[in-house]
Chain A
Amino acid sequence: MAAATDDINGKDRFGLAAALLTPIVIINAIVFIVPIVNLLRISFNEALPGGGIGPAFTWENWVNLIEDSYYLEILLRSVWMSALITLLTLFCSYPIALYLHRASGAWRTFLFVLVIAPLLTSAVVRTYGWIAMLADNGLVNTALSWFGAPTPFRLIFNLTGIIIGLTEILMPYMILALLAGFGRLDPRCEEAALTLGARPLQAFWRIVVPLTAPGIALGCFFCFVLCVSSFITPRILGGGRVFLLATEIYDEAIVTLNWPGAATLSILVLIVFGAALALYTRALRRLD
């Protein structure tokens, strides 16, 4: 392991490096490169009835996708739902991120841990927590009934439940992204604004928000793509009755066994990703 030397025995070193990289290259090939490339190709294969992939090349899957309004509906629903959730998550996360950014020492570390802690549990567990919250007999309905509200509100097994649940589940990601982007926020800028006569709210809008804009853009991008491809939470909180891109992929693959169709939908998800990325990069450039 000619660790430190510049190019001691150049050829030997190259051989050693290649050997050390082989395992990861092989694994990556088996479970990443080959499957993804194959996926792209499969979407152009015909779907055999009853499951299976035919060898012929066909545009059928794509034609289907474009023509059937069902898929358009699913796409639109996924996109606007994700956009809405992104905004809600932003509003819920920004104050926490700001507060965390200004905190210091052990208190800050403690809060940081609290934010990250939910991420260490399985998506199933977090979603289950929301079932406990939103079910007809759950925490929210029970609490509201104590205030005399006409419960039960249908907060679960519908789009509402998904929106509430996903917002909370994605908050840690948004907070982390915002914090990453807050680096540029120097408390002295706010102080300068105040000494120049700005009231706190004005200082906030005119100084803090613009300076944290890159963080906001990153957080929104991050949150949006996580949302669009989210499966477990929408599936469970939607009760199998809300149809989104991710749930559709799962259904086509596992239930209908239409793998080419599922592959096509996957590529659609990637296209949505790409569009989001393009928007994000443009936003970043405009912000600089």
Chain B
Amino acid sequence: MREGTGGGAPAGEDAYLSLQHLGKRYSDFTAVHDLTLNVPRGELVALLGPSGCGKTTTLRMIAGLASATSGRVIVNGNDITTAPPYRRDMGVVFQSYALFPHMTVAKNVAFGLQMRNVAKPEIERRVQEAIGMVRLGGMEDRRPRALSGGQQQRVALARALVIRPSTLLFDEPLSNLDAKLRDEMRTEIREIQQRLGITAVFVTHDQAEALAMCDKVAVMNAGRLEQLGAPVDLYERPANPFVASFVGRINRLPAVAHGKSAKVGAHELRLTSTLNGEVEVMIRPHRIAIGRTGEMGGFNQVPGVVKRVTYVGDLVQYDVDVDGLTWSVEQPTTAARAPDAPGSRVDLSWRIADTLAFAKRA
């Protein structure tokens, strides 16, 4: 298992935004430990983790709204660690939108350009362009309080984009929106970011969002970087139990390993790597097939008894009892076969390659 892999492109070469050993320490606790992260130009990187993991603090340090107690923030080769926020040329979209309540939509969007002393006719042109880009044409003279949540979010986005920043920073911008709007905005934001080719950092606690939107995902926990990688890498090859259980659903089973196999309860499972001693075996619920199949090569298999069946439309969720432990199994529903009823004896089987195992942390 790889612990806290810092990474991405090697520092200074391809990285547009580089965090080097960045840390934030308060008198009674440390929010961010020694974070090293490199973001290549034009990439959208997610900072993903549970509340309190330090992702927002990290974002605020990048924006200049919080001071780093150690480490450096480098953008395009320039060390901006001590630069104040109004000199960092970043577009920030906040969770609560933070629109200026006393200004119209147009004035909100124009603000950043005014700070940069752009000529008036140019400001008007660019404001119109930005408002058009977020599809809010016609709303220029409205006040924020007359707008819906989704519309306010678009204004916040336009305001950040219009200044053509070198970097875009998003602080959980979609968490106050309802599900359908979130999906829409998610696609729009991604589309705009890619079209303009702006390097961006996106903070979120929603792993589905992170996986769907971003080029790379940095999983954080308790102030440390657990793993940085493309969504598929995080999902298929998690570096540790935290990442494995945070990204996607997973079964966690205590086991004892000896070499290339481990004993879970009364059953032997084959592993993909060599381990010894106490381990945690982790298997994704939908990688497990359920049914009476008999012995299969290349697969691990355990018998169990179905305890509960939950029908969710697209999926059926099973709680299966295996030697006293409850395993979670998910299967897509098919018209061809009715779900196994509670009480039935079943075999659970899955590819050996889908068996993740990690040594138990001290």
9-residue interface stretch from A1-9, A174-182, A210-218, A229-237: A1-9
* Chain B positions within 8 Å of A5 at CB level: 64-67, 85
A7 vs B67: C-alpha distance when bound (angstroms): 6
Q: Which of B51-100 contact A (CB under 8 A)?
A: 60, 64-67, 84-85
Separation in Å of the B68 CB from the closest CB of chain A? 10
A9 vs B60: C-alpha distance when bound (angstroms): 15
* Chain B positions within 8 Å of A10 at CB level: 67
A6 vs B61: C-alpha distance when bound (angstroms): 10
Nearest A residue to B61, CB-CB = A6
Separation in Å of the A123 CB from the closest CB of chain B? 39
* Chain B positions within 8 Å of A9 at CB level: 67
* Chain B positions within 8 Å of A7 at CB level: 66-67
Size class of the contact patch on chain A = under 10
* Chain A positions within 8 Å of B66 at CB level: 5-8
Q: Which of A1-52 contact B (CB under 8 A)?
A: 4-10
Nearest B residue to A4, CB-CB = B65
Q: Which of A90-135 contact B (CB under 8 A)?
A: none
A7 vs B26: C-alpha distance when bound (angstroms): 10
Separation in Å of the A65 CB from the closest CB of chain B? 51
Separation in Å of the A200 CB from the closest CB of chain B? 44
A83 vs B142: C-alpha distance when bound (angstroms): 57
Task: Point out which of A4, A8, A9 has the most chain B C-beta atoms below 10 A from its C-beta.
Answer: A8
A54 vs B285: C-alpha distance when bound (angstroms): 91
A10 vs B66: C-alpha distance when bound (angstroms): 11
A10 vs B67: C-alpha distance when bound (angstroms): 9
* Chain A positions within 8 Å of B84 at CB level: 8
A232 vs B84: C-alpha distance when bound (angstroms): 56
B-facing mask of A141-153, CB < 8 A → 1, else 0? 0000000000000
Separation in Å of the B40 CB from the closest CB of chain A? 28
* Chain A positions within 8 Å of B65 at CB level: 4-6, 8
Nearest B residue to A9, CB-CB = B67
A-facing mask of B37-54, CB < 8 A → 1, else 0? 000000000000000000
A5 vs B64: C-alpha distance when bound (angstroms): 8
Separation in Å of the A94 CB from the closest CB of chain B? 39
Nearest B residue to A5, CB-CB = B65
A9 vs B67: C-alpha distance when bound (angstroms): 7
A6 vs B60: C-alpha distance when bound (angstroms): 9
A9 vs B64: C-alpha distance when bound (angstroms): 11
* Chain B positions within 8 Å of A8 at CB level: 64-67, 84
Separation in Å of the B56 CB from the closest CB of chain A? 11
A6 vs B84: C-alpha distance when bound (angstroms): 12
Separation in Å of the B247 CB from the closest CB of chain A? 30
Nearest A residue to B69, CB-CB = A7
Q: Which of B81-124 contact A (CB under 8 A)?
A: 84-85
Q: Which of B141-185 contact A (CB under 8 A)?
A: none
Separation in Å of the A101 CB from the closest CB of chain B? 30
Nearest B residue to A6, CB-CB = B66
Separation in Å of the A3 CB from the closest CB of chain B? 10
A8 vs B65: C-alpha distance when bound (angstroms): 7
A4 vs B92: C-alpha distance when bound (angstroms): 14
A9 vs B83: C-alpha distance when bound (angstroms): 10
A10 vs B84: C-alpha distance when bound (angstroms): 13
A155 vs B67: C-alpha distance when bound (angstroms): 70
A156 vs B64: C-alpha distance when bound (angstroms): 69
Nearest B residue to A10, CB-CB = B67
Separation in Å of the B52 CB from the closest CB of chain A? 16
Separation in Å of the B24 CB from the closest CB of chain A? 9
A5 vs B85: C-alpha distance when bound (angstroms): 9
A286 vs B85: C-alpha distance when bound (angstroms): 53
A161 vs B15: C-alpha distance when bound (angstroms): 85
Task: Point out which of B64, B65, B67 has the most chain A C-beta atoms below 10 A from its C-beta.
Answer: B67
A183 vs B64: C-alpha distance when bound (angstroms): 43
Nearest A residue to B24, CB-CB = A6
A7 vs B64: C-alpha distance when bound (angstroms): 11
* Chain A positions within 8 Å of B67 at CB level: 5-10
* Chain B positions within 8 Å of A4 at CB level: 65
What are 12 of the A-B contact pairs (CB < 8 Å)?
A4-B65, A5-B64, A5-B65, A5-B66, A5-B67, A5-B85, A6-B60, A6-B67, A8-B64, A8-B66, A8-B67, A8-B84
Residue ranges of B at the interface with A (Cβ–Cβ < 8 Å): 60, 64-67, 84-85
Further 12 A-B residue pairs, CB within 8 A, beyond A4-B65, A9-B67? A5-B64, A5-B65, A5-B85, A6-B60, A6-B65, A6-B66, A6-B67, A7-B66, A8-B64, A8-B66, A8-B67, A8-B84
9 tightest CB-CB pairs across the interface, nearest first? A6-B66, A8-B67, A5-B65, A7-B67, A4-B65, A5-B66, A6-B67, A9-B67, A5-B67
